[in-house]
Structure 1
Amino acid sequence: MSSGEDSGERNPFAPPPPGAPDQPWRPRTPQPPASGPQPSGQRPDGQPEEDRPQPPPWGHRPEQPGPQQPAPPKLDPADPAHRTARNALLSGFAALLAVLFGLYWLAFPLSLLAVWYAVTVLRTPAEPAADPFSPRPVRPQVPAALSALLTGGLALVVSLGVFGIQFAYRDYLDCRDSAVTQESAHSCAQEYDVPAWLSNLYDVADE
């Protein structure tokens, strides 16, 4: 019975000969013998070592190209509808700041301007869609117009309320302005029969 050593071939599954040095483990896959000396840095199959495909690291998955989401629309200053929405938003915030600082004479025209701009933007018809069954995206000027309508409407209500109080209780306010002491200012509320909440409001404002 002949072995692989007698025929000139080595059995890859045979144990190493006695006295052989330790070698690192390699898969026992027989490879075809090379026809000649191989240059350094090149495998027996002729492919360079640096061209070998490297496996990806653990936990890393290659990114798969997917459908890209369209960018959300933004306010375009060149578009008249977008410019009107921006003006409405600026007017609404300016009117609200004027109310907070007690400048009601300035808050009233600014709030009117903001509401008018916002209603103009909301009444502007949207562009017809190519596919009538596809969902239509929200126009970028609509959120700005709604914010302007909220802030401008709030400033308008407050300024109109202040103007209404000043017109209805003009005599009471004149009495308070001409009062010298706190007792005389309190007597104005009884003299002109104003509501308690109004007199308390002005008492807190004077303190």
Structure 2
Amino acid sequence: MPDRRQPDSPTDDNPFAAPPEGRPDQPWQPRSGGDGGNGDGNGPGDSGGQRGPARWDPTDPVQRRARYALLAGMWGFFFGIFGIPSVGLLLGALALYWGISALRGKPAATTGEPGAPKGLDALGPAARPQRTAAVSGLVTASLAILLAMSSYALQLAYKDFYVCRDDALTKSAELRCNTLLPDNVIGKVLKVPQ
């Protein structure tokens, strides 16, 4: 196995290394211009000398709602798939509300001058991931609500089967409830297994 150690070179840019001989220690300072700029506010990602938020700002309600919409929509969809439609419906409705309010809301940084961009457009280039999260939340919320409503529609359409199955005290009585189902794909899916 070859030796992977590399020789020490004076050009190493290791921020954790000790300073070279004869050079005093320097106090830690945050990096400036982390978005590719040169620290004077005129680098890439800057608009008009004023930098927009480059990352997620948890204090901004619009960005928070976009993330909440995505999370609630995903969990609502999972609850809908795993057969808990009431929780799926609740989370889907919340995700729908948060997604719409994130797309239409006004960020905390905007003061509300006339003609100023509203919603996620006011964030500039930083709005793309938030818009994606809000739209994804809307899509998953719609799916969660659709799953919950279809589950409730099935329970309403085949109410006799569900009442019979829930009231059955033995396995044979539960199997007799299968006669209340239609002879199609839905009946085969809902059928009590033997």
Q: TM-score range by the shorter chain?
A: 0.5 to 0.7
Of structures 1 and 2, the one with the larger relative CO (CA 8 A, separation 6+) is 2
| Matches of 1:198 and 1:74, distance apart in 2 | 47
Unmatched segments (≥5 aa) in structure 2: 1-37, 47-52, 111-115, 118-123
Partner of 1:188: 180
Alpha carbons 1:95, 1:152 under 8 Å: kept = yes
* Larger Rg, first or second structure (1 or 2): 1
Partner amino acid, structure 2, of 1:185: C
The reply on whether 1:87 has 2:68 as its aligned counterpart is yes
Alpha carbons 1:176, 1:188 under 8 Å: kept = no
Structure 1 pair 68–206 and aligned structure 2 pair: CA distance change class (3 A) = farther
Higher share of residues assigned helix: 2
Count of aligned pairs between the two proteins:
132
CA RMSD of superposed structures (Å): 3.0
Alpha carbons 2:155, 2:162 under 8 Å: kept = yes
Unmatched segments (≥5 aa) in structure 1: 1-65, 130-135
Alpha carbons 2:55, 2:126 under 8 Å: kept = no
- Which 4+ residue blocks in structure 1 deviate beyond 4 angstroms? none
Question: Displacement, 1:160?
Answer: 0.7
Partner of 1:34: none
TM-score, with normalisation over the residues of structure 2?
A: 0.57
Partner of 1:69: 44
Q: Report % sequence identity.
A: 27
TM-score, with normalisation over the residues of structure 1?
A: 0.54
The reply on whether 1:206 has 2:187 as its aligned counterpart is no
| Matches of 1:184 and 1:123, distance apart in 2 | 53
| Matches of 2:101 and 2:136, distance apart in 1 | 14
Partner amino acid, structure 1, of 2:58: P
